[in-house]
Structure 1
Amino acid sequence: MRTYAIGDIHGQFEKLLGAHELIAEDRAACGETEAPIVHVGDLVDRGPDSAGVISHLMEGQARGEAWVVLRGNHDRMFLGFLEDPFTEDPLLSRHVTYLNPRVGGEATLASYGIAGAFSRPTEEVAQELSAIPQAHRDWLAEQPAYHLRGEALFVHAGIRPGVDLHDQTEDDLLWIREPFLSDTRDHGALVVHGHTNIEAATHYGNRLNLDSGAGYGHPLSAAVIEGRDAWLLTPQGRVPLLPL
């Protein structure tokens, strides 16, 4: 069973188009017509065109593309800010708001025409949030937290080891690092995730991390998963992602 996957996008619209092009080339090479593309979340923040990313993915799904889009922690923070600009996600460090430069929300708002949000009073920024289409808000809120297909479980951050999938919390699916990252047990499926940025997509045997730091100016990784085997897609073709 073949599935394509793309790591954390973080507003990098042009890189997303490039990842989709690599997948199209692999599809053509192997005669693939049905395998879906799973985007593992964090569509927004840090990069220059979060609005373009959301529009592109919405339009693709609307025309019938087999695109699965998962919700990431940054997507949740964006939605939380839109609902209440003074909210603080309980999983963030204390007093770190959505507009903090560490989060990158200012770039997301700028992509919708709301400039200089970090340096202005939140009350003032809140009055301009109508610039963000309700359709974008509704669509983002509807995206699932995980997708199970064959021998692979796609999720943004990871899972709580030893907990049944149906008992996992959204906080863990969107935010977890430890004890997930250091757990070497088989999870029953290959967990394909992002959230924790690393130098390059890496297969750890029981999990596959696709967050190669696109939000910090590094490449956006696209991969193909067949069973529990994976390959990174490059302009030169498939490169095996061998378990460490």
Structure 2
Amino acid sequence: MAASTPADTRIYAIGDIHGRADLLSEITGRIDDDIRRRPIKHSVEVYLGDYIDRGPHSKEVIDLLAIRLVANHAVCLRGNHEAVMEGFLQDPAILPYWLQLGGLPTLASYGIELNGDTDTAPALQRRFIDAFPREHELVMQCMRHQFICGDFLFVHAGIRPGVSIEHQDINDLIWIRDEFLDSMHQHERFVVHGHTPVPHPDIRHNRINIDTCAWRTGSLTCVAIEGSAVLFL
């Protein structure tokens, strides 16, 4: 492809994890092995968001990401699911919407089970706040909405076509679908994203989608980009 990373730089981008700590552990092992086999001066891990919900081990996923943040200076982008969970930590009224998005397994991974009609949203929020580790708060604070490296732009969902990168709306970066996915527009940078599940990595002239619905399919995608070459681990 025409887009390229800076010299001596390899980027590992990982798609939506959704509570599959087992798959994340496997992928980080592959990344570490790839770097051992193919040493390079600069390597960057970019996680594209949606670490929680739907799958069974959201807490364990955040634990693993905390390690990669510290040890590897990984870049963690904020997905729409993280945004909703953060919203619930601020406002218990968001609970029904979060549960529709698959928040129940996330609560369970933190040791919080719903007790039928006896649990109110404020009570669940208080229990969740008490169970939410300080280290996980710091991970959330470190999350970004976008990351640029060379000719590549990494975001969770996409961008609004025709709008410069510096003027993109944060909600679009984590929520947009059709306007971005249907666009043939040549963006300022080649976009690597997740958010919309696809059966296999979807490579277009202006973007790559690597959300392969890991929580359901068991397939978590990692793309290694070096120069203008793309390799799937």
Scaled by the length of structure 2, the TM-score of the pair is: 0.89
Contact 2:77 2:143 in 1 (8 A): yes
* Post-superposition CA distance 1:84-122 (Å, at most 9, x none): 12137xxxxxxx61112xx11111111110013787432
Of structures 1 and 2, the one with the larger relative CO (CA 8 A, separation 6+) is 2
* Secondary structure at 2:178 match in 1: coil
**Which whole-Å CA distance do the structure 2 matches of 1:25 and 1:204 have between them?**
28
Question: 2:150 corresponds to which residue?
Answer: 150
Q: Distance in 2 between matches of 1:70 and 1:56?
A: 15
- Indicate the residue corresponding to 2:185 in structure 1: 185
- Match of 1:183, as an amino acid? S
Contact 1:154 1:191 (8 Å CA) reproduced: yes
Moved more, 156-165 or 178-187: 178-187
- In structure 2, give the amino acid aligned to 1:53: V
Distance 1:118 1:166 in 2: 46
User: Following the alignment from structure 1 to structure 2, what is the Cα–Cα distance between the partners of residues 200 and 181?
Assistant: 15
- Asked whether 1:66 is paired with 2:73, we answer yes
Q: Evaluate the alpha carbon distance shift between residue 208 and residue 145 of structure 1 in structure 2; reply closer, same or farther with a 3 A threshold.
A: same
Report runs of 4+ in structure 1 exceeding 6 Å deviation. Answer: none
CA RMSD between the two structures: 1.8
Give the one of 88, 106, 109 matched to 1:108: 106
The answer to which structure has the higher helix fraction is: 2
Matches within 5 A, 1:14-25: 14-25=22-33
Pick closer, same or farther for the CA change 1:54–1:179 going to 2, 3 Å. same
CA spacing shift, 1:162–1:227, aligned 2, 3 Å:
farther
What runs of 5+ residues in structure 1 fail to find an aligned partner? Answer: 89-95, 234-244
Partner of 1:170: 170
1:97 is aligned to 97
43 and 165 in structure 1: CA distance in 2 versus 1, 3 angstrom threshold? same
CA shift for structure 1 position 142: 3.1
1:194-232 CA distances to partner (integer Å, 9 max, x unpaired)? 000010112112100010001224300011112444221
Provide the TM-score with structure 1 as the length reference.
0.85
1:47 aligns with 2:55: yes
2:164, 2:188 within 8 Å by CA — same for their partners in 1? no
